[in-house]
Amino acid sequence: MKKFISGFLQRGLIACGFGPIILAIVYACIQANGTIDTLTVNEVVLGVLTSALLAFIAGGINAVYQIERLPLSLSVLIHGVVLYIDYIVIYLINDWMESNFIPLLVFTICFVIGFALIWAIIYFTTKKSTDKLNQRLAEHQKISKDAIED
């Protein structure tokens, strides 16, 4: 557990520096959508702090994959649930999303599809790399075995 907390804090602190960048992108999208024209100081402060928190949690939760006793599927589920809660809470606190059924449903569908797509890409890319490494290792072992027999 100590390793998880340490990893969470390290990863979270690295990621939380991206909070203001995320905030700038969110505010630019909201402004481009015509939803806001100006922000109060309180809105900016809340946005900076909560987006840093969002990035801290999103970066830190990756430490769940360091827990060797957890099956990968459970780690992915924990990761996804924590990210979903993290995003939805921060979006609602900042009024970046309406607290109605349809916006929450759209967000949930987009989140699940995006999370699944990203994980599919990661899984298949890693599997391809692993297969390639295993093939090279098998070839190397065959060459070594043949050299020993000669």
Cβ neighbours for 7, distance < 8 A, ≥ 6 positions apart? 60, 62, 63, 66
Instruction: Quote the pLDDT of residue 144.
Output: 72
Per the structure, the complete domain to which residue 78 belongs is given by 1-97
Please tell me whether the overall predicted TM-score, pTM, comes out greater than 0.75 for this model: yes
Measure the CA angle with vertex 147, ends 146 and 150; round to 5°.
Answer: 85
Q: Is 18 left (phi over 0), alpha (psi -120 to 50) or beta?
A: alpha
Residues 12 and 27 in one domain: yes
Same domain (yes/no): 107, 74: no
Q: Counting every residue, how long is the chain?
A: 150
Q: How far is CA 36 from CA 25, 28, 31, 53, 110, in A?
A: 14, 9, 5, 23, 23
In terms of domains, do 107 and 71 share one?
no
- For residue 150, the model assigns a pLDDT of 61
Please state, as a whole number, how many other Cβ atoms lie within 10 Å of the Cβ of residue 52: 19
Q: What span, in angstroms and rounded, lies between the C-alpha atoms of 90 and 109?
A: 17
Place of tokens 């959508």: 33
Q: What is the pLDDT along the chain (150 residues), one digit of tens a residue?
A: 788 888 888 888 888 877 788 888 888 888 888 877 788 899 889 998 998 999 899 989 989 988 888 998 999 999 999 999 999 999 999 988 999 999 999 999 999 999 999 999 998 999 999 999 999 888 888 777 776 776
Number of domains the chain is built from: 2
Q: Note whether 28 and 55 are same-domain residues.
A: yes
22 and 81 part of one domain: yes
90 with 25, same domain: the answer is: yes
